[in-house]
Chains A and B, each alone.
Chain A
């Protein structure tokens, strides 16, 4: 298999600290991710998983620290958060083709995405007529549209049944082999071999008073 890499683009996070509303969410977080690696961000509710992911997705600037991703200036980051960014009154096809235009992707990506997430039967359905799990699947279809390098998935397994989870894991595994980096926040274990993990649970802000050493 040939992996095309014009430049090695690792994700390097160093000394990342973020506070929201005056509270330190996490402090001096450092990790790095190489192409083909997957990072599972664990932690209780409120431990800062979503905040970290918004930092990585360039949505929320960190209070201090650095996030290095060489391809930041291109559109190679796919962030799928709690809000799915789907227009519910459009059809599946219309949403997908908007993303194709957004990421400058041709029809090949569209068809691949539809095939891999098995959406072909629902293409002309309006989103608000679909079930929650299916809507989630449509939102995940954005991952496969256009060239991408880093996937940031915030609780991707919510609303998904076993079959859909397997489907997503398969897509992730195939693309890890192609050199994509994946960051997943989830409080359930993931069935993907050889993943790195980062546990944010060691110092949630609301425990910092009682667990000071």
Chain B
């Protein structure tokens, strides 16, 4: 399966060179640990805003590496090489999406329990937070990669990508943090989970297709 081999190579490249996941992890850790210093160590306030903080930071970390996600391969000819070797654009798109999730979504999920504790969250809320991150971060990667593909030939991509991607991710932020907030006041968060899974399913059907079309367009331009 080419997808698997491509993925292995992608992971090797990003772990060896750019240190993407390490950077994401450090960015996430450092910024979140600034909040208790800025807001003050008040337990009640912190635990109330904690889900929101963690979700906002998850959103921001997801756009950090987007500007180079697709353009690196396009610039050095790797995409052309893969296409001429009869590999489908959809496979290339899926590889990039999964790589993005593995290097940004997964580290965020892994560090969330620790940071939840640091922000005085309850044990059960942390569980809900993790589930919500599991439902939401793949969507962030799908939409993020889509934004990255959409701006491939644009100037000032560094500014365009957040302008494009952040608004599209707002529903995920709202439902993601509301899961935890609802759980805190003993309401059933299942509705929010279902909405997030629904958005994820829509994104899974549309984004890889759109990204592959955009990639094809920028190769053939």
Total interface residues on A, CB under 8 Å, equals: 30
Q: Tell me whether B83 is interfacial, beta carbon within 8 Å.
A: yes
Judging by beta carbons under 8 Å apart, are A87 and B80 in contact?
no
Residues from chain A with a CB closer than 8 A to the CB of B17 are: 89-90
The smallest C-beta distance from A136 to any residue of chain B, in angstroms, reads: 13
- B13 CB–A CB distance under 8 Å: yes
| Secondary structure class of chain B's binding surface, majority of residues | helix
Are A94 and B75 closer than 8 Å at their CB atoms?
Answer: no
Q: Which residues of A contact B205 (CB under 8 A)?
A: none
Contact with A along B1-41 (1 / 0, CB 8 A): 01001101100110011000000000000000000000000
Alpha-carbon distance A74/B83, docked complex (angstroms): 12
- Chain A binding surface SS class: loop
With A79-B80, A85-B80 known as contacts, the answer to whether A74 contacts B86 (CB < 8 A) is yes
A-B contact count (CB 8 A): 72
Complex contact A72–B2 (CB within 8 A): no
Size band of the interface chain B makes with A: 20 to 34
- State whether A88 touches B76 (Cβ < 8 A): yes
Q: How far is the CA of A81 from the CA of B78 in the complex (A)?
A: 10
- Report A91-109 CB contacts with B as 1/0, cut-off 8 Å: 0001000100111000000
Given contact pairs A83-B75, A87-B78, enumerate 12 new A-B contacts (beta carbons under 8 Å): A59-B84, A59-B220, A77-B84, A77-B85, A79-B81, A81-B77, A84-B76, A85-B77, A85-B78, A89-B17, A98-B5, A101-B9
